[in-house]
Amino acid sequence: MANVEAWRNMREVCIVGIGMHKFGRWPDKSAGDLVREAVVAAFDDAGCEFKDIQVGFSGCVQRVTGTGQAVFGEVGQTGILIDNVEKACASSSTAIRVATWVVGAGLYDVALCTGVEKMQRGLLGAPASEESASYSQLMGLGIMPGEYALRARRHMSEYGSRREMFAQVAVKSHKNGALNPYAQYQTPLTLEEVLNARMIADPLTLYQCSPTSDGATAAVICAREVANRFRGKPITIAGWGSGTPAYSPVGVGGDVAEGFIYKVGCEAYELAGVGPEDIDLCQVHDAFSAGEVFAVEELGFCPSGEGARFIWEGKADIGGEKPVNTDGGLESRGHPMGATGIAQAIEIVRQLRGEAGPRQVPGDPKVGLQHNVGVGGCNVLIYKR
């Protein structure tokens, strides 16, 4: 748990510009091509130029070495500090958090965060050959949908949640994604289509697994006190939480560990000075549909065990009591791993500015929450208008 007083003594930090390259499959574009479009859009949104940027953080997973330097080089080379940030699927939310720290501490006034990924089709973590495979890989044990499925089956056994309730997450995601021009998949799916899709790891079918994707995102972050230099409507990063799963002798463990999101969420609520009841919308890590169920429970939007029913009853829909993954989430918007964290932040900024068009959350939302999980860690960030 971070020192709350030290955080409150830091300068207020905000996102003042956002940009994104549509997620999808872009075999003819380089990572630099994708980032360039996202950064140009973010600069246009903020009303800034590269010379305004004092420090940079680049989130990327599969191609880390030198990526930040290469992709920033597409848009400017002014000699600033650029760090590569890697936390698997939570890489670019980590970039935002680290930028928030250094700007909040007063080391710099303006930072640029980027996220990018170009991915292959198929299961992540597959070995190149039998000889190079670990024991876990030889035995088919170390697969990500399996981990989420294991916790989903436990949830079904413990709380009586049903497979169609997990499938409903994907139905909702695709309904929202159909309203998002930046989403990889913009076609609604019926419950039957989700349930009848190819089984991956019971109870999760293909459409309950996020796709592999190409895409890029960018965010300009600055001290609130200098935000008037720019025309972008500032959205404050009000609090954050982060950590790694604690050891537990029995349970799913790892990044899907029971109680892990709760712990990180508590830290974010404490630092932001808000509670679950104050959150007007959220973007959570639905790499697999069941992940959204665990997140809405552990973030305190409904009691333990009732997350699947909460989504099934439409309470997480746009217009519901707690809209979740209004941009389609990882499943429909797409999940280019290094770009996902900033994509979640972008959707919250759009919603809090009232610029989300047909998927705008009604009632003038003021507080948004982001939950982003990567191998070995989880970030929760809370944003306020």
Catalytic residues: 89, 335
Of all helices (H) and strands (E), which one includes residue 291?
A: helix 289-298
Site residues (CB under 8 A) for another protein, limited to 90-129: 122-123, 125-129
The correct pick among 36, 97, 151, 335 for binding another protein (CB under 8 A) is 151
Helical H runs in 105-143? 135-138
Residue 305 near another protein by CB under 8 A:
no
HSE, side-chain direction, 13 A CA sphere, residue 121: 4
The correct pick among 153, 333, 350, 359 for binding another protein (CB under 8 A) is 153
Strands 235-243 and 13-24: antiparallel
For residue 76, give every residue at least 6 positions away whose Cβ sits within 8 Å of its Cβ, in sequence order, or none: 50, 51, 53
Quick one: tokens of 270?
């404490």
Residue 66 near another protein by CB under 8 A:
no
Residue 249 near another protein by CB under 8 A:
yes
The correct pick among 3, 79, 139, 181 for binding another protein (CB under 8 A) is 139
Give the interface segment with another protein, choosing from 79-87, 149-157, 276-284, 291-299 (CB under 8 A). Answer: 149-157
Report the alpha-carbon distance of residue 332 to residue 19 in Å, rounded. Answer: 18
Residue number, 79 or 122, with CB nearest to another protein: 122
Report the alpha-carbon distance of residue 230 to residue 44 in Å, rounded. Answer: 10
Least separation in angstroms between residue 168's CB and another protein is 19
Give the interface segment with another protein, choosing from 65-73, 140-148, 183-191, 349-357 (CB under 8 A). Answer: 140-148
At residue 26, the 3 state secondary structure works out as coil
Residue 3 near another protein by CB under 8 A:
no
Quick one: tokens of 18?
């956002």
Report the alpha-carbon distance of residue 92 to residue 216 in Å, rounded. Answer: 10
Phi/psi of residue 140, each to 5°?
65, 25
Least separation in angstroms between residue 202's CB and another protein is 4
The correct pick among 3, 120, 247, 362 for binding another protein (CB under 8 A) is 247
Least separation in angstroms between residue 198's CB and another protein is 7
Least separation in angstroms between residue 199's CB and another protein is 4
DSSP 158-222: HH---HHHHHHHHHHHHHHHTT-TT-S------HHHHHHSPEEETTEEGGGBPPP-EEEEEEEEE
Residue 140 near another protein by CB under 8 A:
yes
Residue number, 160 or 363, with CB nearest to another protein: 160
Least separation in angstroms between residue 289's CB and another protein is 14
Residues that bind another protein (CB under 8 A): 122-123, 125-130, 133-141, 143, 145-146, 149-154, 157, 198-203, 247, 249-253
